[in-house]
Amino acid sequence: MGLKKILVNQVRKPKGKLGKMIAKGMNKGHAKLAKWGLSNISIESNYIILDIGCGGGGNIQHFAEIIKDGKIYGIDYSETAVYISKKVNKKYIEKGIVEIYQGSVSSLPFKDNYFDLITGFEVYYFWLDLISDLKEIYRVLKPNGFLILVNEGYYVKIKRKGKKQKSGQN
């Protein structure tokens, strides 16, 4: 397996020693992007928030510093990412402000209409069934809740009239 494939697999589902380093690195690597994404919304101090694909827990930590009367949940597919996220947010978990679970966006372990805000940073392109997963998110999002999915960019090869063209979007 090539280095590129190893790194993509580790970013998708961090595991082992390399996975711990990658999960920790997500906190730094995604910080500017998360700050930009979150600058587009107002977060009330009583919000109940879910961060899907919480990675190293940096965004959960940010939310925990804002939320006074609400609660923050994180979920990640990776056992290693959950471990790092819990470690980073230990004091908030002990205070009862934060809960972090291992699980999948495809089957969220939360009741209907529960969250005021659901976030996902650099994750949705890893989901196996985007439409079904968005329906699952919709199920747990309050009727007037907010969903913010942010990623830095993507690269797609597009075929048009027999030609392959490259397209990049931000």
Do residues 72 and 51 make contact, with C-beta atoms less than 8 angstroms apart?
yes
Domain boundaries, the chain: 27-144
- For the stretch 91-132, pLDDT in tens is 999 999 999 999 999 999 999 999 999 999 888 877 889 999
Q: Sign (positive/negative) of CA torsion 59, 61, 63, 66?
A: negative
The arithmetic mean of pLDDT across residues 136-164, rounded, is 79
CATH superfamily of 27-144: Vaccinia Virus protein VP39 (3.40.50.150)
- For the stretch 10-63, pLDDT in tens is 665 666 675 556 665 676 667 777 788 888 889 999 999 999 999 889 999 999
* Per-range mean pLDDT, top range of 12-16, 34-38, 158-162, 166-170: 34-38
